[in-house]
Amino acid sequence: MGIAQYDPTALGGPAWNARQVGVKKPLKQRQIWAIRFFLDREGRVRDRALFDLAIDSKLRGCDRVKIKIGTLVTGSG
């Protein structure tokens, strides 16, 4: 038996689901302002508020999703 020509593992390239191991690089200031500009232009106020909250508090995505509106308004933990 030989190697199938349609076998992606035989080509020696990276796997389709290969992930970066370790800490991701932080966003650059230019990228942050580009995202803010896009969200403002599209009128996505909620998304802009969540993005600003995430950037300012340095929360991970899974932690940010768990935040309730009442917690933000009243300030209780």
**Mean pLDDT, 10 residues at a time, the chain of 77 residues:** 61 71 84 94 88 80 71 62
* Phi, psi angle pair for 21, to nearest 5°: -95, 135
| 48 within domain boundaries | yes
User: CA 67 → CA 20, 25, 28, distances in Å?
Assistant: 27, 24, 25
Q: CB–CB of 27/34 below 8 Å?
A: no
Task: Provide the pLDDT for residue 60.
Answer: 72
| 1 within domain boundaries | no
| 69 within domain boundaries | yes
Task: Provide the pLDDT for residue 74.
Answer: 65
| 36 within domain boundaries | yes
| 62 within domain boundaries | yes
| 76 within domain boundaries | yes
Task: Provide the pLDDT for residue 52.
Answer: 87
Q: Which amino acid is at 57?
A: S
Domain count, the chain: 1
| pTM of the predicted protein model | 0.54
| 12 within domain boundaries | no
| 34 within domain boundaries | yes
| Residue 67 domain boundaries | 27-77
Task: Provide the pLDDT for residue 50.
Answer: 81
Within 13 A of 74's CA, how many CA atoms are on the CB side? 7
